[in-house]
Structure 1
């Protein structure tokens, strides 16, 4: 119950924070906040408190597996945003994330998954194209957008948590770390501020991915070590 309440509160709160920060300080800082393990850390802490070291380790493994889906989403959306409508860009990015998520889910080695995620991130950042300004007059953000973003994120996370209860801690870890908030923020930023802003947000989230993976690996290793003592 504590995990459910925390996740359902954290998701819309983070959406609100990122929306305000992105509007006042630019999409890059918003992307950095979205890419950081803002929700994964508390989620794993509560998994450990609720079930002990073994479930927390499996959940951390799931979190790491989900990072490959996160970086794939960021790469796809950032690359396609200047050329496609927000809805089509989101569809393509979600398809890429789904494919990457399947690959990560069937990979038994947490270290191999982490290495693959970091490699994809590094290649993506090294080959990131220069911004092409395709939206010189973006639409103004509407007043109802932030509440809708918060409601969508909260609903999605709640559904993921109910599924996690039935499917186990590894699957729960994957569901908890999927790019739900990115999928909410990216098309909204794309529509209201332009393709350049959406791409900048995705690139910023991508730059945080190696640090997030390292953070989750440390937690996974700690839970495994504590469980063998």
Structure 2
């Protein structure tokens, strides 16, 4: 419980501050790191053992496909003039539909890894083709209230607590599929859409698509190694794989980028 109440909000708060400092695309890329699903996997391993966590990691790996579908659906709706509530609803519907399909497949690790890699690569191509035009009439980013980051931290922590509590009833595979919901990316995307328009929001979501290679690498390594190596070494190898993937995708980020909304009074 101490880990659940401390690790998750600390990670979310740090990512929020970093994304405000370096802009929309970098902000999206940063939130691709498994800030919620990673801690969920750790808590599942501690509570239910390495075998349960290994099965859940396969679901979390496939859950990155659902995150990509969320990004595409949100960007597609926003690029066609939909307001942020409709775009958010479209993204959530895409995530739920993808999760439902993947839940029926029950893929093992190797085909799940291949399906995830191909899906992320295809999503990046589609996102670049369907990017909305530049916003008009926007000059400066809106200012967010002081409670913005604490609210994000609270919501993310509540999500982790709820999912880990429901994990025994849901089972490892479905728990894994649901845990990667892009909660933080959705919050940032909505604020960006409201304050800057569809194009900056789409830029953030394209950055998130690049960032999804890190959790994909994390969960491939975790699922393959946590049982033979144990919880500690398994997670250490998974973190190393995620950092390597994040370093490679950093070179693919576009130069500059729209600033994310800054905190205000």
Q: TM-score, length-normalised on structure 1? A: 0.84
Moved more, 177-186 or 46-55: 46-55
Aligned pair partner of 1:37 in 23, 34, 39: 34
Query: Displacement, 1:158?
Result: 2.6
Note the C-alpha offset of 1:51: 3.0
| Structure 1 position 135, deviation (Å) | 4.8
Per the alignment, do residues 160 and 39 of structure 1 end up closer, same or farther by CA in structure 2, a change over 3 Å counting?
Answer: closer
1:156 aligns with 2:159: yes
Residues 36, 156 of structure 2: 8 Å contact kept: no
Secondary structure class of the residue paired with 2:212: helix
> In the alignment, is the contact (CA less than 8 A) between 2:12 and 2:35 conserved in 1?
no
1:202 is aligned to 2:201: no
Displacement of 1:225 after TM fit? 4.3
- Provide the rounded CA distance (Å) in 2 between the counterparts of 1:74 and 1:8: 28
Q: Is the 8 A contact 1:66 1:175 kept in 2?
A: yes
Tell me how large the CA RMSD over aligned residues is: 2.5
2:142: which partner in 1? Answer: 140
| Alignment partner of 1:167 out of 163, 170, 178 | 170
The 8 Å contact of residues 44 and 164 in structure 2, kept in 1 or not, is answered as no
TM-score w.r.t. length of structure 2? 0.74
Between stretches 192-201 and 9-18, larger displacement belongs to 9-18
Query: CA–CA distance in 1 between the matches of 2:171 and 2:23?
Result: 38
Q: Are 1:48 and 2:45 counterparts?
A: yes
2:14 to 10, 14, 17: 17
| Structure 1: gaps of 5 or more residues | none
Q: Is there any run of 5+ residues in structure 2 with no aligned partner, and where?
A: 231-265
1:226 CA drift (Å): 5.4
2:221 to 213, 218, 222: 218
* Distance in 2 (alpha carbons) for counterparts of 1:11 and 1:132: 35
Q: Which residue of 101, 118, 121 corresponds with 1:103?
A: 101
- Which residue of the partner structure matches residue 113 of structure 2? 114
> What is the distance in 1 between the residues matched to 2:225 and 2:77?
38
Pair 41,157 (structure 1): closer, same or farther in 2 beyond 3 Å: closer
C-alpha contact (below 8 Å) 1:107/1:113 kept by paired residues:
no
1:76 corresponds to 2:78: no
Larger displacement relative to structure 2 (201-210 or 44-53)? 44-53
Higher helix share: 1
Aligned residues between the structures = 224
- Alpha-carbon separation, structure 1, partners of 2:195 and 2:18: 15
